[in-house]
Chains A and B, each alone.
Chain A
Amino acid sequence: MTQVAAIALNTFRETVRDRVLTVIALFALLMIVAGLWLGSISLEQGGRMMKDFGLVAVTAFGVIIAAFIAATLVRKEVEKRTVFVLFSKPVSRGGFVVGKFLGLAATLGVVVGGMGLFLFLMTLAVGGGASGMVLVATALIYLQVLTVVAVVVFFSTITSAILSSMLGLGVFVAGQLSHNVLSLSRIGAGAVTEAASWVVFVLIPNFSAVDVKAAAVGEQTVDWGAVALWGVYLVAYMTVALIGAAFVMRRKEF
């Protein structure tokens, strides 16, 4: 347990110092500020525009950061051969994967949480009726981002860093469309196609089941039961992805 915590802390320190992270985070903050300009051309709808486009910016940049940094987490240790030093100590391969994940999760907590808080304060300043829903939406975006991290960590154990990033981004996009895959499975083009579509539907994380952004702009009320269930689903999904990554790591020869 202490080894996992040590790896997590070290990963946090390492990633939070990453210049790329700072640049992307600053760019995301700039995008949120750009919402002010959008507000000015929206006929007094600045608050709504800022919340809506701000949350899109938090999602997009959170996922980009997750995909590109998570892909290098495990691979960098392998390529630099620092993993040999680590595994010469009493550190399990599963503990290594979980530690890396938790470290990046902490970094992303700071980045995504910071962006969400900044957006909340901006909407408060613009006077668009800043609601706590912006913070709730940010928390759920964070869960999605962590799921992407888990998926990318899994891919990074079996393929290159750049391909892992691309696959991670692809999974995020596919997750927005997962319900369409289910529709495909019902078209009835053949038993094999149906079965394959169903398998893909189950494999792809369902990112579109809950839309808290709509609640943040007053479009709908939140079904907290559905949100909680979706949160549990995402946590279970990332756990499965991390177990998969640990399993692949165990079978690797170093």
Chain B
Amino acid sequence: MRRALVALLAVACVALVVGYQVTRPEQAAGKPRVFVPSASFFEDFSPAFRTSIADAYYLYLVQYYGEHIKTDQRLDSVPDLVTLITDLSPRFVKAYQFGTFALLDAGEPGAAYELLKRGAEANRDDYHVPALAGFLVYAFGQGEDKLQIAADWYARAAAVEGAPAYLGRLAATLTAKGGEREKAALMWAQVYADGDKYSREKAVAALDELLPADPAERAAGLAALREAMPAERFDMLRDDLGVGG
């Protein structure tokens, strides 16, 4: 009898705990402007943990971006968060890559370019950052010399030891005449090749628009992108675009 009562009490309490949690209203998106301390604050108070703090804020940035891009589209604190993370961990290449697209979505292409310039300086042995800077200038830059500036960034990326050969070809393609859609497709293909999940999603959406709708022409257009990325990424892209092999 006593055991049965205890068991009943336990079941009732478990039901209460689970019930309380599952019936709570879904949390609304947090405030778009959040407090972001300066990097020097953390460098002063916990210099031995600065990369861990950068990683924690990087995870927060991913969550913040995902939450606001799906709801109110307000990304007010993205610039501060990206600056904090890259100041604390200047060699965190993925933070520059994700930060660039987050800043573009926040309507801050200028800040994105400045971020990549800082990133390229801090990571001279890495080709991802200058390659992304080349793309950014090509896709969002203005002025007559933007193609030359973009090509210079790709050339800089290609000059890094271990950089894939297609970066050099992209630099040459940019300064060649004509074929603007093909050029754009090549640049987005490079973003797809180097990017994270979010960048790849954006690249797939852009390529979906840039490539012809006719299946045969689409397959031919896609085949031209093969040289802009490693073979396994090309297969992934083909699957993402739903083009048969």
* Chain A interface residues toward B at CB < 8 A: 38, 41-45, 48-49, 52-53, 55-56, 176-177, 179-180, 207-208, 210-211, 213-214, 217-220
Contact = CB atoms under 8 A, between A and B. Distances in A.
Interface string B37-56: 00000001111111110010
A213 B48 CA distance: 8
A53 B52 contact: yes
A218 B44 CA distance: 21
A44 B196 contact: yes
B46 A220 contact: no
B52 A42 contact: no
Interface string B80-97: 000000000111101000
Contacts of B196: 43-44
Interface string B91-132: 110100010000000000000000000000000000000000
A75 B92 CA distance: 47
Contacts of A41: 59, 62-63
A42 B44 contact: no
Given A56-B49, A214-B89, 6 more contacts: A42-B55, A43-B196, A52-B55, A180-B45, A208-B46, A214-B50
B45 A213 contact: no
Interface size class of B (residues with CB under 8 A): 20 to 34
Contacts of A210: 48
Contacts of B59: 38, 41-42, 49
A220 B55 CA distance: 15
B92 A42 contact: no
B58 interface: yes
Contacts of B90: 219
Interface string B176-220: 000000000000000000001110000000000000000000000
A177 B198 contact: no
For chain B, what secondary structure do more than half of its interface residues adopt (helix, strand, loop), or is it mixed? helix
Contacts of B48: 176, 207-208, 210-211, 213
B197 A43 contact: yes
Contacts of A48: 55, 92, 94
A187 to B, nearest CB: 14
A49 B63 CA distance: 15
A48 B54 CA distance: 11
A211 B62 contact: no
Given A42-B58, A52-B52, A219 B44 contact: no
Nearest to A214: B51
Nearest to A173: B46
Contacts of B51: 52, 211, 213-214, 217, 219
Given A53-B55, A56-B52, A219-B89, A45 B47 contact: no
3 tightest A-B contacts by CB? A43-B196, A208-B48, A211-B48
A7 to B, nearest CB: 33
Contact of B62 (A43, A53, A180, A214): A43
